Amino acid sequence: MAGRGRWPAASVTSVLLIWIVCCNCMYSPIVHGYMHSGRKLSVAALAKYHASANMTDLQHHVEFFDKNKDGIITLTESIQSFIAIGCEPVFATTAATATHTTFGPLTTPPGKLPSTDIHVSHIHRAIHASDTGAYDKTGMFVPENFDKIFKKHSHIKPDALKWWEVEEMLISNRDILQPLTWPAAELEWQLIYTLGKDSRGYLHRDTVRGIYDGTVFPKLAERTVTLHSEA
């Protein structure tokens, strides 16, 4: 969601459009309610998830999808991860395939033949323009830029956004020199809003923070397990 790299925005836009239109993942009021219900991810799970202290924030963002923690996210791992957070298998396969087709070659380390595997070490190459700047070009989280999202665009509640406020933010962040990145940023935040808004249509600050640092994914995975066990 950050940086000023260049990538095929049309391809990523297609991925996100598929996600928003067809997604069978956990939806917003349910997800928000679970995140704010007081239930906590186990200490062991959080410790395992953030075990690699030398990783950038953007690398932590995608770490959940690296199941065996070898630094390479395979297509199979992504499919398994999408299913783990509550997506239907057909959607998980479609989304993972499109994501790997787009980002795999971009994240291939120098000297290696491009592949559809996503290399966590080079995930910063997938960052793009017209974003919030909450990640810098190396993939590190920039708190002051994250704070600006709410300081500048939260007009009703200080730590939450309605969709029209998100839209205002997106327009203000557009890079006029890279218009092809506009729809990608738009659809990206549509996804974030769809997944994270509460029952009143507010996207809360701590929910967005959880997306940026990746901690939302194990929470969704734990919730999926809980739902299955109660079924």
Provide DSSP, 56-80: -HHHHHHHTT-TT-SSEE-HHHHHH
- Is the confidence at residue 7, as pLDDT, over 50? no
- Write down the pLDDT at residue 191: 67
Contact 156, 165 (CB under 8 A): yes
Highest-confidence range of 22-26, 68-72, 94-98, 129-133, by mean pLDDT?
Answer: 68-72
Contact 27, 85 (CB under 8 A): no
- Write down the pLDDT at residue 223: 81
Global confidence as pTM: 0.70
Of 71-75, 142-146, 177-181, 184-188, give the lowest mean pLDDT range: 184-188
- Is the confidence at residue 227, as pLDDT, over 60? yes
Burial of residue 39 (number of CB atoms within 10 Å: 0-12, 13-18, 19+): exposed
Q: List the structure tokens of 41.
A: 């991810």
Helix (H, G, I), strand (E, B) or coil at 227: helix
Chain Cα centroid distance, residue 122: 16
Q: How many Cβ atoms from other residues are within 10 Å of residue 29's Cβ? A: 14
184-219: pLDDT as tens digits = 678 778 767 876 788 999 999 998 999 888 888 888
Q: How many Cβ atoms from other residues are within 10 Å of residue 118's Cβ? A: 28
Helix (H, G, I), strand (E, B) or coil at 128: coil
Residue 203 belongs to what H/E stretch?
strand 203-204
CA–CA separation, 98 and 105 (whole Å): 12
DSSP structural state of residue 140:
-
- Write down the pLDDT at residue 126: 83
